[in-house]
Structure 1
Amino acid sequence: MDTRARTCVLGGEEVPLRPKEFDLLSVLAAHAGTAVSREDLMAQVWDENWFGPTKTLDVTLASLRRRLAQTAARTEPRADPPNISTLRGFGYRLETDRLETDRG
Structure 2
Amino acid sequence: MVVDAMDSLPDWVIPILAEIAVLVEEDQPPEEKRAGVLRLGLYRGVPRTSHYGRRPGTLPDTITLYRIPILAVCELPEDVAPRVRKVLVHEVGHALGIGEDELRALGWH
Same fold (TM over 0.5): no
Higher relative contact order (CA 8 A, sep 6+): 1
Give the structure with the larger helix fraction. 2
TM-score by length of 1: 0.31
TM-score by length of 2: 0.30
Return the index of the structure with the highest Cα Rg.
2
